[in-house]
Amino acid sequence: MTEQATTGPRTVVVTGAGRGLGLAMARRAGADGFRVVVAEVDADRGARAAEGLRTEGIDAHCVPCDVADPQSVARLAARVAELGPLYGLVNNAALANGVGGKEFQDIDVATWDRLMAVNARGPWLVAKALHPLFGPVGRIVNIASDAALYGSPRLAHYIASKGAVIALTRAMARELGERGITVNALAPGLTECEATEAVPAERHGVYAANRAIPRPQQPEDLVGLAAFLLSEESRYLTGQVIAVNGGFTMN
C-alpha cells in the first residue's frame, strides 16, 4: 500500500542548510526529487548553497531564517506556503561550534539561554509554523546529538538542548501521527564539518578511541538514513531516536 500522492514537486525544508550536514541532507533530498528550501541564518551562505544545488539540477530555494526569531520563522512559513506542497522538514539548525569547555556551574545565563533559543526552541518554532502546510502525509526529522545520550562532560547546555529535541520528537510524534506525519530524530556523533571545526582535539580523540568504527564521521554517513526517514518506506516509523555514530553509543 502506498501513501496518498500529492500533485507537483513536494517540498522539503532543511534548516541550517547553508553548509555541512544540513547542506549534505539538502543535496540528497534534491537528488531524490524533492524541491528543497535552504533555510539559513546567514543569507549569503544560504544563497550560495542554493545556487550550488541548482547547478546540480536541484530545484532549490534559499529563505533566510533565524530559527530563534518567531518573526523570521513566520516569513519562512509564508515563503514555503507559496512554494507548496510541503512534505518534509529537517530541523538541523543549531549552535554547536565552540560551545563546550565549561562545567555546568560555570556556564553563564546568557550563553545558556542563547543555546536553548536556537537548539531547543528553534525546532519547535519551525515545526509550529510549518505544520499547517503539510498535506495528507509528511515527514519531520529532528537532528539531536549522541552527546545527549552519552552525557559528554563540559557540554551541559548543549546536551540539555539536544535532550529537549529528543523529548520534543516524541511529543510531536504522538500529536501528529493521526495526520500521517511521522516525527523522528537522528543523533549524530562528532561529525567532521564546518560546524565542529572548533571542537578540541581531545574530544575527537575520545570518539576515535571508543567508536566501533574508528574512522572520523562525515556528513555523508548520515544522509542515507535521513533520506530513508523522509521516504515513503518510513511511513510506520515514528517517535524514534536513532544514533548514527559508528557505534560510539549502543542502545
- Cβ atoms of 241 and 147 within 8 Å: the answer is no
Q: Of 150, 158, 207, 236, which residue is the catalytic one?
A: 158
**3 state DSSP class of 249:** coil
User: What is the amino acid identity at position 173?
Assistant: A
Amino acid identity at 100: G
What is the SS3 assignment for 6? coil
- In this structure, the number of other CB atoms found within 10 A of the CB of residue 214 comes to 11
H helices of 7-104, in order, are 20-31, 43-55, 70-83
**Largest Cα–Cα separation, the chain:** 54
In the annotation, is 207 catalytic?
no
Nearest to 18, CA basis, from 43, 46, 44, 41? 46
CA angle 21/24/25 to nearest 5° reads 90
Q: State the catalytic residues.
A: 158
